[in-house]
Amino acid sequence: MKCAKNTMVLGIILLLLHSCSSELTIEMPKGPAGTAGASAYDVWVQAVKDGVINWDAGRTDLANYFLYLKGEDGQNGSNGKDAYQLWLDQVANGIDDPHNPGQQWPKNETTIEDFWYFLTGAPGQNGATPTIGANGNWVIDGKDTGISAKGADGQNGTNGQNGSVITIGANGNWFIDGVDTGVEAFGQNGAQGQSAYDLWVQEVTSAAGLEDPHNPGQLWSKDKTSTQDFWDYLRGKDGKPGETEQPGGDTGQPGGDIKIILGKANVIPLYVNQDYNEFVRWEDGAVNYIVYNDIGNPAAGAEVKGMPGIKDPNKVYIADANGLFRVPKEDLPDNENVIRRRGTALVTYTNSQNVLINDEVSAPNTYVPDRMYVRLRLQSNPDISDGTYMRCSDIVVERETDGGVWQTIPAYLGNLRQHIIAYELADSNDPTSYRTASYSTDIDSINISASNTVRINRLRKRASYYHPVTTSPLEWDGNDQYFTLVLESYYGEKPQIAAVIKMAPVQAMPIITKVEAYSYSPPVNPGDVGYFGRVTGEMDIAGANIDYSILFKNTLGTQSLTTSGGSPYTYYYPVTDDRNVIENLSQLRVTFLLTNNFSAYDYAPSISNPNFSIGTPRIGSSVILTCSSSYFYPLNTIGYLRFASGTDGDFSSLTIVKRTTTVNGWQYDFPNIPVSYTP
């Protein structure tokens, strides 16, 4: 029926054309409705069914479609190349420029932006529109076809009726002279087919999700649906790293996943650790490279520039007699995308035929790692541990890896014993203003792959009985002083904590005075020593000239500040303790020690109650003064309980004979303390 109607309409049109002696303008209809476009998935299914694609016809669901696109995992081997890397290979070998037909793509335009521009292709030419020339012929794209646009004149006929007017009605049907023919003028749009990427996105974001081919047993993240994520999904697993440069050595074999490509120069980085894919030298943060010639031998004296990711692409590196050159840490990129750090370089070298080759584009196997930055970080607040030291606990040394992730220095890198130095600061508002002067610490070096504690010697206030012999870096000059902690070196970096710490000076504890002994028992047998029933006395508080302004709490105060340059840091400062707390704390300790089996001591003395009483001290005992708080510097042994005349029972000569010694440049110069005796 529909065919008959179409034939009728065509006949009417031909009749009208024949009966009309003047030109007739016709609005031509669009073609019939297009069939629905098949999706990439549909085409694949049909190809499998038709035997065009070798695939199990029973496995044609979407999951198997993506598995087909991805391909099955092969054995561990070289890193799979992405589209960008394959393109680099093609550019190096010569590839047509889609924007300039007949010319090759420039070999030096190999950035990722160049890659995307290459893919856009050349713009298509405008379609030709036929027109009727002045001579009445059809003209297409400016050329006369020689074909008349009008038919030959027919014989004169009788006057005909006015030609019919053919239009398209509001309902989309053809109308002739205002009469609806019932024939649709427009075909229906065919459905748009879905691409493989569209179908992949649907599966990833579905409730079931898609398995991550790089992490078996886990689902691909639903947030990772960009086109780059799609390509990452389709690529295979990374191959294992190859051979290594021995730690500390200058040369080594290239990694197993970086192959020498014969026929051109190769610029290949050297491993410092094979098992963990490490290239950056811990000694100085640099990376070693070897240049190979066209037959895979080291290219002595080769000149290399334009390495991918290098900060100055025009900088020239010159290889030594072994083809080795070193890129210093300052030239390495800072947290750059890995795509920009892989590719080619320009190499000038003498090839195997002894011909000098200038600026040859190398094989696309050059890799440049990011610069390795190191930081020193405090995980706990510093404090005042005792009368001798300030303490910085939980210090960690970390490095910045790809993507800006910080991690503790791995233990496998070696040479982990490093010095941490407490440097005096010139400017209390700038942690970087450290001088060459440093404060002594309690350890020589730390293991930077672990959490560490460093104790810094407190500066000491001079006392009459405890003072430096000449000058000492440990003596407090009465002024505020500040310091920070700095790591000696790793990866060529000298990191420091983002902190300013105010020094907490300390003064020596009081000595004893007004000592009395009671009830002496002389020795009975040879080898015995006499002893007293009790010894009493008091701490010489008045003679100590206590400076309460430097008696601090254990915990430091903290304040978050910013340098003039905008860098944040933490300021730690000692806090003076309450005087009542200080004076009433039983913190002073007096010990009479002859051997470990004959010691007598008393914890009772405090500043407000300085008296002490000790039972059964023996002749010859060392008299030791210590402090259980962080308020005072301990004096340790100040003298020995003796009969000064050397005669046992000569109580008139009973004395705590002073100890005079020098330790670390400080003079212990205590007085002889007389001891009165009561039977």
Are 84 and 90 a contacting pair, CB within 8 Å?
Answer: no
Q: Does position 176 have pLDDT exceeding 70, yes or no?
A: no
Query: So what's the pLDDT on residue 227?
Result: 65
Query: So what's the pLDDT on residue 498?
Result: 94
CA distance 555 to 576: 10
**Residue (of 636, 655, 660) closest to 535 by Cα position:** 655
What region does 182 belong to: left with phi over 0, alpha with psi -120 to 50, or beta?
left
pTM: 0.60
State the fold for domain 375-507.
Immunoglobulin-like (2.60.40)
Are 635 and 508 a contacting pair, CB within 8 Å?
Answer: yes
Are 614 and 653 a contacting pair, CB within 8 Å?
Answer: no
Convert the pLDDT of each residue in 525-582 to its tens digit. 888 889 999 999 999 999 999 999 999 999 999 999 999 989 999 999 999 999 999 9
**Residue (of 218, 238, 235, 239) closest to 71 by Cα position:** 235
266-367 to CATH, choices 2.60.40, 2.70.98, 1.10.3470, 2.40.160:
2.60.40
Dihedral over Cα of 514, 520, 522, 523: its sign? negative
- How sure is the predictor about 247, in pLDDT bands with cuts at 50, 70 and 90? very low
* More confident: 77 or 295: 295
**Residue (of 230, 301, 304) closest to 267 by Cα position:** 304
**Residue (of 163, 135, 161, 165) closest to 148 by Cα position:** 135
Q: How far is CA 347 from CA 271, 279, 292, 444, in A?
A: 21, 21, 10, 47
Convert the pLDDT of each residue in 396-453 to its tens digit. 999 998 778 899 999 888 788 888 999 999 999 999 898 777 888 877 788 888 898 9
Query: So what's the pLDDT on residue 124?
Result: 53
Q: Does position 123 have pLDDT exceeding 70, yes or no?
A: no
Convert the pLDDT of each residue in 344-383 to its tens digit. 999 999 999 999 999 999 999 999 999 999 999 999 999 9
Q: Does position 18 have pLDDT exceeding 80, yes or no?
A: no
375-507: same fold as 266-367?
A: yes
Query: So what's the pLDDT on residue 221?
Result: 86
Mean pLDDT of 114-141: 64
List residues bridging with 571 in a β-sheet: 500, 559
Dihedral over Cα of 258, 263, 264, 265: its sign? positive
Are 329 and 285 a contacting pair, CB within 8 Å?
Answer: yes
Highest mean pLDDT of the ranges 119-123, 133-137, 476-480: 476-480
Highest mean pLDDT of the ranges 183-197, 239-253, 393-407: 393-407
- Give the ranges where 274-321 is alpha helix by DSSP (H): none
Domain boundaries defined on the chain: 266-367, 375-507, 512-554+580-678
